[in-house]
A and B are shown apart, each in its own frame.
Chain A
Amino acid sequence: MSARRESTGGAPLGDAVGKPVPRLEAREKVAGRALYTDDLTRPGMLHAAQLGSPYPHARILSSDTAAAKALPGVRAVLTGRDFPRNYTGMFLMDQLPLAVDKVRYAGEPVAAVAADDLATAREALRLIDIEYEELEAVFDPVEALRPDAPAIHEDRGSYECHYELPPEPNAVCYSEFKEGDPQQAWARCDVVVENEYRLPAQYHMYLEPVSTLAEVDSNGKVTLWSSMQGVARVQMLTARALGLPMSKVRVIAPRVGGAFGGKCELTNQPVTAALAMAAGRPVKMTLSREDDMTMMKSRHAGTFRARTGAKKDGTLIARSVEFILDGGAYADESSAVSAVCAFFSRGPYVIPNMHVRSWSVYTNRLRAGAMRGFGNPQATFVSEAQLNELAAALDMDPLELRLKNALDEGDAWLGGRSVGVPSLKQCLQSVGKASDWRNRRKRRASAPGKRRGVGIAGFGHTSALLSAGAAVHLNEDGTVTVNTGAVDIGQGSDTALAQIAAGTLGLELDQVNYANPDTDSSPYNYQTAASRTTFMVGNAVARASAQVRDKLLEHAAAILESEVERLELRPGGSVGIRGISDEEIPFAAAAGHSLYVTGGPITGSSNWLYEPAEGIDPERTRTRGFVDVVAGSGVFCFGAQVVEVEVDEVTGKVEVLEVWSAHDVGRAINPDMVEGQLQGSVVQGLGYVLTEELVWDGGDLINPTMMDYKVPGMADVPHGIHAILLENPEPGAPFGARGVGEMALMGTAPAVTGAIAHATGARINRLPATPERVLRAMLERA
């Protein structure tokens, strides 16, 4: 493999980095003392709820809130007209806190009430009378893309938009990549496979439903405690939606009970804040699970067509894909998702001739947005499914086919950017070895009535984008406080970032305090998304900690009457003279020197922007539409997965027996937590492939409960989910660490359908692979 290259932070000092320590807040969580938003109360606090539209597409003719306002105990009632018309969004600004002229999906919030208790608030919602005129709705993204489809946002052209809108009236975004000459190349292929795949709307099902608590002080400053993914992002968007300066909005992160992308951007923060402003009292709005599922967002469903051709020996020659992603009623992060989906459509393989077209499209359904993987799980499913079909057509081992075409040293990603450390082959080999792939593939021993099979997937993802800051200060007693504004959504970033600070300064972990994110005091950080926190914020923490180290050394040199060059940090928080073990002072002495003798407090501050690389090589790649932002961002990381399944011949039910997942994580700052991220991703991937799907009847979501939307339980998934960590350090990363939050989800679905095909011969092209669909595919084959 590639030689070890330099990372930010150099070699860690002490043993904090790479140590599988428990997360900092483990104790409070196991004791039930961790405070999530809904656990908080404020004096005089009211409770709020919001009303969803009964129609998927309708004009709002009038609204009458008099009866609701008259109900005893009701303190504020708001409709869309009570807000300024300040649209928010990511790249396309199309959304208001509550619907104004039109509703565009069933469940879209149209009114909100704050009352003395939740029951009164809900009763008041029933008294709100809104008159609608129903409009023709469109639910299928392929139909919605037609030029004559009913326009969902007639004023689309008037929205602020940071890219060129495609011409189709309901198109949110379009991205196109072309490399080589796919038209000519088909003729040179010995085998061509072609298929259409339909992928479902997966719902995040963070166990903590969306919740916000808002309070307004006498100067009109709004403080929000909210379950979210980034304090700075929520501050900016809430201020924008309400027409407030950001200096009047403070956002604080309590513990967050999972998010997975679903709490990126805004949830109910502007509405809760506006209710608190209207009522003059603190207001808490925690969504019921049903409201969360019908009002918030999902992963992008869609229709994905793909064609791939290869030589007899398995060399990949050409691929064309056409992706149509269902963005739902509002753009949210769709533009970036459909672009990311295009960017990953080739997978981590060499295919010289490519044509990729990817749309996100408005429909009259729940908006789709970020969810773990952000378009890549869809792209990887399609790409890997195509490889599985090719392997079968070529009668070639699926692992061999992947190894033969895997990106290697010097190869580029789609668009032409270098992939950095190309460890896919190592991941494939390692997962093949750990799972005993060759023998397991042959063995296939099954219980009577069951058929056993194994499948494999290779995949790549990126981490790193946008801005992050960190402030590290040395306390008077020699401990440090790290403040970053990065919200730990459960993945463990508080702990990993504290470990990075400890590893830079040679401290024990309990000598590091991780400050709670608060926009009044924390540096800017974009948000916890895109597997970026360890890499981005970790880098800022390592750099700020290094500044503290340098200042400490200067003070120590003065105290020890030595030169900085002769000094070293020693584990546990002291500075000594190299080679002389008893000549040392504790950090506290340097801190005291800075506070009372000379120089002033010792602090470090690092702020940086990940500047996108040139993502597109124009000599190699022709593009259209929205591609630059996604193509240039992030450092590449690779993984591979093997799954063994058993399929019931009578019912079609798939049982997953064992999973092996190998990843080049660069460096595991905390191996136990990395393992936990990978295992958790695999199980979300198992839900995606086997059971999870939001189901609509026309415009109505018919399974908005945990009863009817099935996420995997403990008995549904194997205990044998083996995470294999490879550590080829990433240059420029904190101690070499890459982001791992999303990666392991990518490969699970295609590895499972590959295993189903191996077991039964049946190809599943529509997820989830429910027993009915698997059985039907088996029967069709027979």
Chain B
Amino acid sequence: MAEKVPVALFVNGENRQVLVDPRQNLLQTLRADLGLTGAKCGCGHGVCGACTVLIDGEAVLACLALTVAQAGREIGTVEGLADDEASAALVQAFVDCGALQCGFCTPGMIVAARALLQRNPRPTVEEIRHGLGGNVCRCTGYVKIVDAVRTASGAVQP
């Protein structure tokens, strides 16, 4: 077991000190050390998107990001989205459109969608399909997720 190292993280607007194995990934740190269990582990190697978080505003797969490399960066998880208006619209649209079933992919999907809307506030259906192509949902068939993102973007009325 490697010696643990201290890391100063900035998560959802708060400074958080953690002591982690240098090989630990950010997903483990968020879930086990910080009690932020919104991001999920579906595959463990960056394919399913269930662990998507924001790092400096970009969607990043937390299972592939080393915790020690995140010092000083701004980390945002699904738990921290509540405060901004665009995120609130997205969350509301997911509820209204029925864009979730088991919900395991939902936190990652919403975070990825938040980053997509940041880059492209009015995405077309095609842009959403490709923009969220890295987030797997096994339940919904995706139709209502696309509808939710379009609704949140204001492209269609709820």
The residue in chain B whose Cβ has the minimal distance to the Cβ of A256 is B102
> What's the least CB distance linking A528 to chain B, in Å?
12
**A684 is an interface residue with CB less than 8 A from chain B:** yes
Decide: B141 and A682 in contact? CB cutoff 8 A.
Answer: yes
Decide: B146 and A31 in contact? CB cutoff 8 A.
Answer: no
B residues within 8 A CB of A204? 138
**A707 is an interface residue with CB less than 8 A from chain B:** yes
Instruction: Select the residue from B42, B128, B144 with max chain A CB neighbours within 10 A.
Output: B42
Decide: A29 and B129 in contact? CB cutoff 8 A.
Answer: no
**B96 is an interface residue with CB less than 8 A from chain A:** yes
Decide: A32 and B107 in contact? CB cutoff 8 A.
Answer: yes
Decide: A673 and B98 in contact? CB cutoff 8 A.
Answer: yes
Contacts A207-B40, A676-B144 given; does A492 touch B45 at CB 8 Å: no
The residue in chain B whose Cβ has the minimal distance to the Cβ of A289 is B43
Decide: B107 and A683 in contact? CB cutoff 8 A.
Answer: no
Contacts A676-B144, A719-B125 given; does A684 touch B101 at CB 8 Å: no
Decide: A719 and B143 in contact? CB cutoff 8 A.
Answer: yes
Decide: A33 and B38 in contact? CB cutoff 8 A.
Answer: yes
Decide: A207 and B105 in contact? CB cutoff 8 A.
Answer: yes
**A91 is an interface residue with CB less than 8 A from chain B:** no
**B65 is an interface residue with CB less than 8 A from chain A:** no
Contacts A258-B102, A711-B136, A717-B142 given; does A209 touch B91 at CB 8 Å: no
**B34 is an interface residue with CB less than 8 A from chain A:** no
**A679 is an interface residue with CB less than 8 A from chain B:** yes
B142's contact among A35, A675, A683, by CB below 8 Å, is which? A683
> What's the least CB distance linking B42 to chain A, in Å?
5
The residue in chain B whose Cβ has the minimal distance to the Cβ of A716 is B133
Decide: A32 and B37 in contact? CB cutoff 8 A.
Answer: yes
Decide: A714 and B135 in contact? CB cutoff 8 A.
Answer: yes
Decide: A39 and B37 in contact? CB cutoff 8 A.
Answer: yes
**A119 is an interface residue with CB less than 8 A from chain B:** yes
Chain A positions 491 through 502: 1 when the CB is less than 8 Å from some CB of chain B, otherwise 0: 110000000000
Contacts A31-B82, A258-B139, A684-B138 given; does A715 touch B100 at CB 8 Å: no
**A20 is an interface residue with CB less than 8 A from chain B:** yes
B residues within 8 A CB of A312? none
Chain A positions 236 through 269: 1 when the CB is less than 8 Å from some CB of chain B, otherwise 0: 0000000000000000000111101000000000
Q: How far is the CA of A491 from the CA of B102 in the complex (A)?
A: 7
B96's contact among A22, A209, A706, by CB below 8 Å, is which? A22
Q: How far is the CA of A594 from the CA of B90 in the complex (A)?
A: 46
Decide: B98 and A707 in contact? CB cutoff 8 A.
Answer: no
B residues within 8 A CB of A255? 102-103
**A490 is an interface residue with CB less than 8 A from chain B:** yes
Decide: B106 and A706 in contact? CB cutoff 8 A.
Answer: no
Contacts A25-B103, A119-B1 given; does A714 touch B132 at CB 8 Å: yes
* Count of chain B residues near A, Cβ 8 A: 53
> What's the least CB distance linking A442 to chain B, in Å?
27
A residues within 8 A CB of B139? 207, 258, 490-491, 676, 680
**Residues of chain B in range 78-115 having any CB-CB distance to chain A below 8 Å:** 78-79, 82, 91, 94-96, 98, 100-107, 110
> What's the least CB distance linking B91 to chain A, in Å?
5
**A36 is an interface residue with CB less than 8 A from chain B:** yes
> What's the least CB distance linking A129 to chain B, in Å?
22
Decide: A30 and B104 in contact? CB cutoff 8 A.
Answer: no
Q: How far is the CA of A204 from the CA of B42 in the complex (A)?
A: 13
B101's contact among A33, A35, A38, A680, by CB below 8 Å, is which? A680
The residue in chain A whose Cβ has the minimal distance to the Cβ of B48 is A706
**A26 is an interface residue with CB less than 8 A from chain B:** yes
**B44 is an interface residue with CB less than 8 A from chain A:** yes
Q: How far is the CA of A23 from the CA of B40 in the complex (A)?
A: 21
B residues within 8 A CB of A509? none
B residues within 8 A CB of A684? 138
**B137 is an interface residue with CB less than 8 A from chain A:** yes
Decide: A31 and B91 in contact? CB cutoff 8 A.
Answer: yes
Contacts A714-B135, A719-B146 given; does A706 touch B101 at CB 8 Å: no
B residues within 8 A CB of A490? 101-104, 139
**B41 is an interface residue with CB less than 8 A from chain A:** yes
**B47 is an interface residue with CB less than 8 A from chain A:** yes
The residue in chain A whose Cβ has the minimal distance to the Cβ of B133 is A715
B residues within 8 A CB of A206? 102, 104, 138
Q: How far is the CA of A256 from the CA of B36 in the complex (A)?
A: 18
> What's the least CB distance linking A215 to chain B, in Å?
18
A residues within 8 A CB of B140? 676, 679-680, 683
The residue in chain A whose Cβ has the minimal distance to the Cβ of B49 is A713
The residue in chain B whose Cβ has the minimal distance to the Cβ of A255 is B103
> What's the least CB distance linking B125 to chain A, in Å?
5
Decide: A289 and B44 in contact? CB cutoff 8 A.
Answer: yes
Decide: B141 and A683 in contact? CB cutoff 8 A.
Answer: yes
**Residues of chain A in range 440-490 having any CB-CB distance to chain B below 8 Å:** 489-490
> What's the least CB distance linking B133 to chain A, in Å?
4
**A317 is an interface residue with CB less than 8 A from chain B:** no
Decide: A679 and B138 in contact? CB cutoff 8 A.
Answer: no
28 CB contacts below 8 A, A to B, read A23-B100, A29-B106, A30-B91, A30-B95, A30-B110, A31-B78, A32-B39, A205-B138, A206-B138, A207-B137, A209-B41, A257-B40, A258-B138, A490-B102, A675-B98, A679-B140, A680-B138, A705-B45, A706-B43, A706-B47, A707-B43, A707-B45, A707-B47, A711-B138, A713-B134, A713-B135, A716-B133, A719-B125
The 6 closest A-B CB pairs, nearest first, are A32-B38, A490-B102, A257-B104, A29-B103, A679-B141, A32-B78
